[in-house]
Structure formats: structure tokens, C-alpha cells
Amino acid sequence: MGRIGVLLLNLGGPDKLEDVRPFLYNLFSDPEIIRLPFSWLQSPLAWMISSLRAKKSKANYQQIGGGSPLRRITEEQASALEDKLRQQGHDATVYIGMRYWHPFTEEAIAQIKRDRIEKLVVLPLYPQFSISTSGSSFRLLEQLWDKDPALQAIDYTLVPSWYERSGYLRAMADLIADEIDRAPDPDGVHVFFSAHGVPVSYVEEAGDPYQREIEDCTTLIMQTLNRPNEYTLAYQSRVGPVEWLKPYTEDAIEDLAAQGIKTLAVVPISFVSEHIETLQEIDMEYREIAEEAGIEHFQRVAALNTHPVFIEDLANLVTDAIDSPAIQFSEVIRPEKNMKMYPQENWEWGMTTSAEVWNGRLAMLGLIALLVEILVGRGPLHALGIM
């Protein structure tokens, strides 16, 4: 077997407060996150939303020490995985390609070319597939491949999702069991899975398998845990005015408290590292909501980070992927063409000339409203909590 490259894909996060606004700009420039009827609107809108959201987002990053730990943790995971693969006798190098911040996917690809990698396993660090996460990174890679014969010469395979793997499930169950056993009444602990949300339109219109995969994943983790504890699945971190997957985490916490539940073990389930939504949103915001609602023990299950069972499973996943038929870009799920996506659910698509004219007018009105909101610092986006 020739030289193996493993490309770990991840979201990326601002290393320091000055990075927050440009990081958000990159995120909102992604048509897989916000798709607009006119591509020329993407950059100005991304600029405006990122400028408006930066203040709130910076305050959150400030609360966790002024930046995201994602780069450091992903580097630790990459180096643990590389060590494990080498111990198993593989001449493997692990690369990190972040979607919205350093080290960018393009930088990883440039290094992969310089290293003359012959066999590449593309492995997103998202256990479940979403159009907005793994799908977006695959789309970016596909664009790079389309224009580069050197990349086309690499024998690559994609791993769309991997939440069913037994090592991953065992590592998650271990961490949950640790937390349950710490509680005063272990059997009374309510296991609370909090998944990152996506807008409902992703699932219902674009065909995103994310919700189904998350639901399957929680069932499999509970089977692996094999304890009598009750459990709930809810969705956190919504952004913007559209409807996201329900129940929302804060509502589900309040419902459980109203039912008399006293202990929650909150399990972050969409992501394998600590990041802003575990350290700030769960540990600070949801804790406060829970305690106010009457939850007496609000416990949070740690993220996998470099859990040895998890890293070993990732190494096996890489070798399994090499031994299986390759999965190409054309085989992964992508949103249907002309699919409506966040945040313009109510806009008509330009199927007819008159719709097109109205789209243009609405887009201009929206743009003007956003400009006014930036200037005055108040408006519907602030009211809805986007900024």
C-alpha cells in the first residue's frame, strides 16, 4: 500500500477575539449554511450578518477564555490518530482541514499534494452527516478536485458518517456511565442528549439525513449503555428566525424539571470535541435555565476529545475505509437544486419572470433593512437574537 493520507474535516473556530468576525463571515458566506436566490447577495449579506452577530458571539468566546479550543483539540486528535495508525504499521500522515478557520481545508490540500499522497481517506469529525457540516466540506473539496488534475490522480474515499461504529458507541457510553455513577441516585439520572440543531427545511426539503442519524445514534448509545435510565433528545444552538429541529434544548429542560426530574446528565452528541456550544452554551446558559427550573444536579458528559477507545476506533475506521469500495463525491447527499434554505424560507424562487423581479425587490428591501439595523443597532434581527 502506498503512502496514506487521512484528511480530518472540521468546522474551525476563532483562536482569539479578533478572529470572531472574519470567522463568522466565512461561515455565513457558505451557501450550505445560508443559500440566497442570488449569489451576488451572499457576500454583502455574510458581511452584514457577521458584523451584527460578532458582538454577541465575541462575548460568548470571551466567557470561555477568548477563543475556541477546537484547533488545539483537533490537533491532539490528529496526532493521536497518526500515532495509532503508525503503531499498526501504516505509513500514514493525518491532516486537518477546517471549513471556516485555520488551518483551512485548502491549506491541508496543498500539503497533501506536496507530500505526494497516493491514497486519501477523507474523514469528517462529525459522527452524523449534515448538508451543513460534512456536506459543505465535501462540496468544497469537490470544487478543488474539479479544477486540479493532481488531485484527480489521488485514490480517495469519503466517509460520510460513522456514528454506528462500536468503538465510538462504547466510548460515548463509557463517558455517560462515568457521569451517571457520579450522581447521588444513579438510576434516577435522566440522560439528556443535546444535538446541534439544523433548520427544519434542511431535513424536510433538502433531504438532510441528519435528524434520522441523530435519532439512530441516541438509540444505539442507549443500547450500548445498557442501563435503566430514561432519556430525551433535544436540539440546541439555533440561529436566526426560521424553525429549527424540535424540541429545543431549553424547552425540553424546563419540561423535564416540571415533571419533577432532579438530575440531568447532558450529552453533547453532534460533535467530538469540547467547543463553544459545550463550554459556554451548555455549561453556562443551559445550566442557568435548568437550575432556575428546579434541576438540582446539572451534570455534563465530557466530549470525546482523545478518548483512547475513540481514537482506536478512528484508526480502525481509516483501515476499514481503505479496504472497502471507495465512496466518491458524486455519491454523497447534496441539497436538491433550487432548494430553499435558511434564512429565506418565505421567499419565492425565480421560476418565473415576475417571481424573479419580486425576489430582487425583496432582496433589496432586506438589504436596506439590514443596513438600517447596523446603523441604529436595533431591529428585528436583534429582537430575534441573531445579533
- The reply to whether 276 sits near ligand L6N33NVT by the rule CB under 6 A is yes
* ∠ Cα 1 86 3 (to 5°): 30
- Examine residue 63 and tell whether it contacts Fe ion (CB under 5 A): no
Q: Which is nearer to ligand L6N33NVT, 226 or 346 (CB)?
A: 346
Residue nearest to ligand L6N33NVT (CB): 13
Site for ligand L6N33NVT contains 132 (CB under 6 A): yes
Angle between helices 166-182 and 308-323 (to 10 degrees): 170
Binding partner at 105 among Fe ion, ligand L6N33NVT, none, C-beta below 5 to 8 Å by kind: none
Could you say which of 27, 41, 85, 189 contacts ligand L6N33NVT (CB under 6 A)?
27
Q: Does 137 bind ligand L6N33NVT (CB under 6 A)?
A: no
Query: Annotated binding residue at 196?
Result: yes
198 in helix, strand or coil? coil
277 known member of a binding site = yes
**Site membership for Fe ion, residue 42 (CB under 5 A):** no
x-marked contacts with ligand L6N33NVT along 332-351 as a string, rule CB under 6 A: ----------x---------
Q: Rounded to an integer, what distance in angstroms lies between the CA atom of residue 229 and that of residue 186?
A: 8
Name all contacts of 79-84 with Cβ < 8 Å and 24+ positions apart.
Answer: 80/306, 80/311, 81/6, 81/8, 81/311, 81/314, 81/315, 81/318, 82/6, 84/311, 84/312, 84/314, 84/315
Question: Can you read off the three cell numbers belonging to residue 387?
Answer: 445579533
**Backbone Cα Rg of the chain:** 21
d(CA 221, CA 215): 10
Of 211 and 224, CB closest to ligand L6N33NVT: 211
Assess 161 for contact with ligand L6N33NVT (CB under 6 A).
Answer: no
What residue ranges bind ligand L6N33NVT (CB under 6 A)? 11, 13, 24, 27, 33, 53, 57, 68, 70, 126, 130, 132-133, 196, 198-199, 239, 270-271, 275-277, 342
